[in-house]
A and B are shown apart, each in its own frame.
Chain A
Amino acid sequence: MFKPGDDATPPFEEPWHAQALAMADTLVTSGQVSAPDWAETLGAELRAAEAQGKPDTTATYFEAVVAALEKVSADLGVSAEAQTERRAAWEDAYARTPHGQPVTLDET
């Protein structure tokens, strides 16, 4: 990840990287999460990842962003239970959707 000469890397390697940062920045610019709270929460996740010996990669960084988003969402009333349930619903949706079709939560 620390490659000083590397300027060819695109801004986002995976669509979810961009979506995660977009959510975080939108929550901050709309005033629902304060900028210092976001920085502290993300900083804590990054330190935790480092302490756990995770590799210093873009994937590790964005996984910390996702973990921080989960924390601030819980503070905004999106409980861990709601997150677990919703994830299971998405997994089911992916499982039942034929290849090439858009994946939606709506079962009808």
Chain B
Amino acid sequence: MTQDSEDAARLHRNIHSHLPSDPALRVKTLESLMVERGLVAPESIDAWVEAYSEEIGPKRGASVVARAWVDPEFRSRLEADASEAIKDLGVDGNATAHLKALFNTPTQHHLVVCTLCSCYPWSILGMSPAWYKSAEYRARSVREPRKVLAEFGTDLPDDIAVTVWDSTAELRYLVIPERPAGTDEWSEDQLAAIVTRNAMIGTERDLVAEAS
């Protein structure tokens, strides 16, 4: 075969073969090599994908927040050492990073970002939202946090201070929003149901007390 006809034959095969995209092929390449060399186990990859695609959402984080609202002793321990405290709830997962809880108050709001890459407390909040990984959020939340918050519908009056926390591979953050008024009689499960992922990242501030 001449070079041209070889090229044409390859092109023809490729058109008809549903060849995956370039990055998808690179991932397949890496996965098969790493599995072959025992660097990763195929079943742990499958289990991870399944867990993070569906099962692990922000529910674990929400249960931590609800417990902190109803149990002052847990709250103090969460404040002292969040990684240790959440072991009580069995939600520490396989996180390698240390966790710090940040408590919002009537005059203080906390906002979390990872300016370097996308460090995030996955094991308790699930997969990070697309915007958290965007270059724009990573840059602007530090430079103009109030403006970014406003774009999330969170308009902060000037008498509320904003602190922006930059996550690292070794230290991740969980914002503990304030408990909404009118929820004194609520159960821990009811409370957990109103805690949103964005409130635990800090892009949302006021939770709504609407019983589900």
Is the pair B48, A39 in contact by a Cβ cutoff of 8 Å?
no
Known: A16-B27, A18-B52, A39-B169. A1 touches B17 (CB 8 A): no
Contact B18 A99, beta carbon cutoff 8 Å: yes
B5 CB to closest chain A CB (Å) equals: 16
Complex contacts, A36 vs chain B, CB 8 Å: 168-170
Contact A56 B18, beta carbon cutoff 8 Å: no
Across the interface, do A86 and B29 meet the contact criterion of CB distance under 8 Å? yes
* Given A16-B28, A38-B169, A78-B39, 11 extra CB contacts under 8 A: A1-B136, A3-B130, A9-B129, A16-B24, A19-B31, A21-B48, A22-B44, A61-B118, A76-B39, A95-B19, A96-B13
Residues of B within 8 A of A (CB): 10, 13-14, 17-21, 23-34, 37, 39-41, 44-45, 48-49, 52-53, 94, 96-97, 116-119, 122, 126-127, 129-131, 133-137, 148, 151-153, 168-170, 198, 203
- The chain A residues found within 8 Å of chain B, CB to CB, are 1-7, 9-12, 14-16, 18-23, 25-30, 32, 34-36, 38-40, 42-43, 46, 50, 56, 58-59, 61-63, 66, 69-70, 73, 76-78, 82-83, 86-87, 90-91, 94-97, 99, 105
